[in-house]
Chain A
Amino acid sequence: MDSLLAAVIIGVSLGGQYALLALGFTLIFGILGVVNFAHGGLYVLGGYVAQAAVSKLAIPYPVAVLAAALATGAVGYAFERFVLERRIDDHLATLMLTLGLYLMLSTGILVTFGAESVQFAFPVTGAIRGNGYYIPLENLIVLATCLLAIGAVYLLLFRTDFGRASRALADHRAVATAQGMRPHQLFPLAFALASGLAGLTGALVTPILSLAPHVGDPVLATSFLVVILGGLGSIGGATVAAFLVGLIEAFSGVYLGGSKGALALFIIVLVMLVVRPSGLLGRETRGA
C-alpha cells in the first residue's frame, strides 16, 4: 500500500470526525464561556441512542442517527435551561456541573448497557480499492455527513438570526444583551446544538469504531486538543485544527508508530502553541 496516500486518506477521515466533535465543544465555550466536560458523555449517549433505536426499535440507521442528534440535543437543552443557566457566570460551578453530567451519563450507560462493547455495525460495508489505496465506504459516508453537518452549522451561525445573535453574545454579552439579545433563550439553544453535534458524531462514528461506556474519554481529550490548537471559541480555527490534527495523527502513526506518533502529535501542538499561544485562528483568550 502506498503509505503516503493511505496517511492522507486516514488523516482527512479523522479530521472530519474531529471537526464535528470540536465544533460543538468550541461553540459552547465561544457562546456560553463554559468548558463542557460532558461532551464525551453526549458523544457516547448519541451512540447508544442510535444503537438502541436500530437494534430494539428496528428503526433505519439514518433515522436513528437523526434521533440520536435530537435526543442528545434535548438533553443538552434541558441541562442548560434548568441546571447550568442558574450558575452560568460561575466558571468553577459550570466546570463541576458539566463534569457531574458526564459522570451521570457514563454511569447511567454503564448500569443500563453493561461495561462491555455492544454490537453496532455500520449498515454499509465494503471499500473502494485502487492501486495502492483503499477507502472504506463507511468512512466515506461518515466524512460526507460530517462535512454536510459542518456546512449546516456554518450556515446556521453565519446566515440566520440565531447565529448572528449567538455570535454577538459570544463577542460581548453585555452589549449584545443591551441590544435585545436574550441569553436565557439563546444559551439553551446553543447548548442543544452543540450537544446534538456530539450525539450526531457518536451515532456516526461508534458503528465504525466501537461503542462502550468509556469511549467518550478520549473524545473529550481530542476535542480539547483541537479547540485549544484552533483557538478556544474559534469555529474556523477548530475546523482547520481538526483536519491538521487528523493529518498529523495519521502521518505520525503510519511513519513513527503508535507510541512515537502520539508523542509527535503533542510535541507539534506544543510548539504551535508556544509560537502562537492564542491558537491558529484565535484572536484573544476569552476572559474566563
Chain B
Amino acid sequence: MRFRKAKLFHLPLAILAATIIPAKAAECELKLGVVAVLSGPAAQWGIALRGSAELAAAEANAEGGLKVGADNCRISVVTVDSKYTAEGAAAAANNLVSQGIKIILGPIGSPELTGLKPIAVRNELLVVASSYAKNAIGPQWPLVFHGGPGPSGWADPIIKVAKQKFTIRSVVVVAPNDQGGTDIASVVVDAYSKNGIKAREEYYQRGTTNFAPLVTRILNAQPDAVDLASSPAGDAGIIVKQLRQAGFTGPIGRLGGPGTDEIARVAGGYDVLKNFYWYEPVLIDDKVRKIADDYRRLLNASPPENNLFFQWVAVARILTKAIARAGTIEDTKKIADALRALPVEDEALGKGLWIGQEFFGINQELSFPFGIGLILDGKVQALQRHDAATGK
C-alpha cells in the first residue's frame, strides 16, 4: 500500500517532468534569419545564400542541435525575399525582427545592405552580409560583418596577373550607375591606377538592353582593356558580344564576381570572350564538392548552382561556431565578440584571415583563399589559387 502511495506521489512528478523537459528543449530554438534576393535576375545569388544557411542548420540539427551553453538548440532558417532593393531588404529585416530573430545572414547586394543597416542598428541585429559597397561595414556598425571581401581585397592581385598576361596600359571600367555599380567600379579603377594603368569609368542605366551606343563610346576612348566590374552577367555578355562585333580585340576583365559561364553563353561562347580574366570566390576541389554531397544527403535536394553557395556555407558555419562559443542566442554583442575572436578556417575552403581595417576601418571582413580565372585565346585555363586577400 505504501508502495502504491509512493508511486501515486511520483506520478504527477513524472508527468510534470515529462512536460517540462520537452518544453525546455523546444524553448531553445535558434531562428537564423536570411535576407536573400529570391526573385529577378540576381535570384541565383539569393538561392545560394539560403541554401548555405539551410545546410549549416541541417548539419547542426543532425548532431542533435547546436550546443549553446547548456542547451542543444535546434536551428531553423527563416528566409525573406529582399528583391535586390533597399526597401525590399529593409522590409525583410523588419519582418524577421517581428519574428524575434536577432541574427541575419545576408543580404548580398549593396542597395540591400544600405536599406537593412538602419534596422540592424535599431534592433541590435548581428548581420553577416556580402555587399561590395564602399561602406558595407565600418566602425559605426560594429555588429555588421562582411562574409567575403569585395574588390578592395582581391582586385589588386588579379590585376597583377592580368598585367603579366596581357599588355594593359589603359582600361575602361563599365558598370551600372547605381550603388551596386559605382561603388565597385570606383574601387576597381583605384586598383588599376595603383598598378600604373590609366583607368576611366563608364556607367549605364540598369535595364539597358542594347549596349551598342556605350560600346561606340568605349571604343572612342581606345582602351587596351575593358573591365565589366559588377555588371550583371547577362549585361556583361551583351557588352562582350557587341565589343567583339565592333572589332575590339583587347582583353576583357570582370573584377566583380563569378558568372563567366553565363557571360560566355550570352556572348556566344568562350571563343568570343577570347582573352578574359575574372574573380572566382571559390576553387572547386574534392573538399568543396563534399559540401554539395552533404547538401544532397542532409536536405535530400540538389544544391544551389551558383559557386557563391560554397563561400556562404563557410560563412554560415563560422557564424554557428561563434554562437556556440558565445553561449547565447540572444546577446548579439557577445556573439560578435566571439566571431571576431574565432580563427578564420574552414574544412573545405582552408585558412583565411580577418581583414578590412585598412579599407573599412574595422577588421570584420572574412577572407578565404580565392581563384583567379583566365581565358587565353578562347581556351579556359585552370583557376589559379590565391591565398586569402589581405586587403592591403
Contacts and interface: CB of A to CB of B under 8 A. Distances in A.
B217 A117 contact: no
Interface string A210-234: 1010110111010000000000000
Contacts of B246: 1, 134
Contacts of A17: 210
B6 to A, nearest CB: 64
B44 A115 contact: yes
Interface residues of B, number: 33
Interface in B131-150: none
Interface in B308-329: none
Interface stretch (A57-65, A75-83, A252-260, A267-275): A252-260
Chain B interface mostly: helix
B33 to A, nearest CB: 23
A212 B216 contact: no
Given A1-B246, A115-B44, A214-B40, A10 B262 contact: no
A149 interface: no
Max chain A Cβ within 10 angstroms of own Cβ: one of B47, B177, B219, B266: B266
Nearest to A122: B268
Given A134-B247, A209-B210, A117 B216 contact: no
Nearest to A129: B247
B207 A217 contact: yes
B216 A1 contact: yes
Interface string A1-45: 101001100100110010000000000000000000000000000
A209 B239 CA distance: 9
Contacts of B233: 116-117
Contact of A116 (B44, B214, B217): B44
B299 to A, nearest CB: 19
Nearest to B306: A116
Given A134-B245, A221-B207, A261 B234 contact: no
A127 interface: yes
A124 to B, nearest CB: 12
B388 to A, nearest CB: 28
B203 A259 contact: yes
Contacts of B265: 116-119
Interface string A228-255: 0000000000000000000001111111
B208 A258 contact: yes
Given A6-B216, A115-B43, A116-B44, A258 B234 contact: no
Contacts of B216: 1, 3, 6-7, 10, 253-254
A88 interface: no
A10 B202 contact: no
Contacts of A7: 213, 216
Interface in B187-207: 202-205, 207
B209 interface: yes
A3 B220 contact: yes
Nearest to A126: B245
Contact of A212 (B212, B213, B217, B234): B234
Interface in B21-56: 40-41, 43-44, 47
A10 B44 CA distance: 32
Contact of B219 (A1, A121, A257): A1
A210 B266 contact: yes
Interface string A112-147: 000111110100010101000010100000000000
A134 B244 CA distance: 12
A258 B238 contact: no
A3 B222 CA distance: 13
B281 interface: no
A219 B208 CA distance: 10
Chain A interface bracket (under 10, 10 to 19, 20 to 34, 35 or more): 35 or more
Nearest to B182: A259
A219 B209 contact: yes
B213 A249 contact: yes
B207 A218 contact: yes
B237 A210 contact: yes
Contact of A210 (B177, B214, B220, B234): B234
B268 A210 contact: no
A257 B266 CA distance: 23
B204 A258 contact: yes
A262 interface: yes
Contacts of A121: 268
Contact of B213 (A110, A221, A254): A254
A139 B237 CA distance: 17
Contact of B212 (A13, A218, A219): A13
A115 B234 CA distance: 11
Contacts of B262: 116-117
A74 B160 CA distance: 55
Given A118-B265, A210-B237, A218-B208, A259 B177 contact: yes
A217 B207 CA distance: 8
B41 A261 contact: no
A214 B47 CA distance: 17
B102 to A, nearest CB: 30
B126 to A, nearest CB: 29
B238 A209 contact: yes
A258 B211 CA distance: 9
Given A116-B233, A210-B238, 20 more contacts: A10-B210, A10-B212, A14-B212, A115-B47, A116-B262, A117-B234, A117-B237, A127-B245, A134-B246, A136-B245, A209-B238, A210-B209, A210-B235, A219-B209, A250-B212, A258-B214, A259-B203, A259-B205, A261-B213, A262-B205
Interface of A: 1, 3, 6-7, 10, 13-14, 17, 110, 115-119, 121, 125, 127, 129, 134, 136, 209-210, 212, 214-215, 217-219, 221, 249-255, 257-259, 261-262
8 contacts: A115-B43, A117-B265, A210-B209, A212-B41, A253-B217, A254-B216, A258-B208, A258-B213
Top 7 nearest A-B pairs by Cβ distance? A253-B213, A258-B204, A262-B205, A218-B207, A259-B177, A119-B265, A115-B43
